């Protein structure tokens, strides 16, 4: 699931009014999701994630889908000159801050998507021709 493009390129703040707040905390409470977030410091396909995290491929697909519904995981495309493109995932945040106040809980995440999207332009062997 792709996220709202308005979130790209800067901090994202999730509050009690945002369903993504619960989704982010739920994902962070899952040991497999945390293991995936630790593993994807470089873009990886779901199959690579499953291998690296030593989890079943079907589980990896479910966890990646769960994480993709939050700002925690960024989705991109791995281009293949033969046309066999694949989705790849990387950590969608570089920093997260939880604030507790009388107004409720607020999660602010600093996005790394702008850096990741620029790195896609440096893909070796990929041509726009």
- The pLDDT of residue 129 is above 80: no
Lowest mean pLDDT among 6-10, 30-34, 37-41, 97-101: 6-10
How far, in Å, CA of 32 to CA of 125, rounded? 33
Give per-residue pLDDT as tens, 51-73: 999 999 999 999 999 999 888 99
Q: Which residues pair with 55 in a beta bridge?
A: none
Lowest mean pLDDT among 38-42, 76-80, 81-85, 124-128: 124-128
In contact, 104 and 15? CB cutoff 8 Å: yes
Name residues whose C-beta falls within 8 Å of residue 16's C-beta, 6 or more positions apart in sequence. Answer: 103, 104, 105
Tally Cβ neighbours within 10 Å of residue 102: 4
């Amino acid at each position: 699931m792709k996220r709202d493009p308005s979130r790209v390129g800067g901090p994202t703040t999730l509050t009690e009014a945002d369903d993504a707040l619960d989704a982010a905390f739920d994902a962070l409470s899952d040991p497999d999701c945390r293991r995936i977030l630790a593993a994807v410091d470089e873009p990886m396909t779901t199959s690579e994630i499953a291998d690296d995290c030593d989890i079943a491929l079907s589980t990896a697909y479910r966890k990646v889908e769960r994480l993709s519904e939050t700002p925690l995981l960024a989705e991109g495309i791995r281009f293949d000159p033969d046309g066999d493109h694949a989705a790849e995932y990387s950590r969608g945040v570089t920093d997260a801050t939880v604030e507790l106040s009388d107004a409720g809980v607020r999660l602010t995440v600093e996005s790394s998507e702008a850096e990741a999207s620029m790195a896609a332009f440096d893909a070796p062997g990929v041509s726009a021709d």
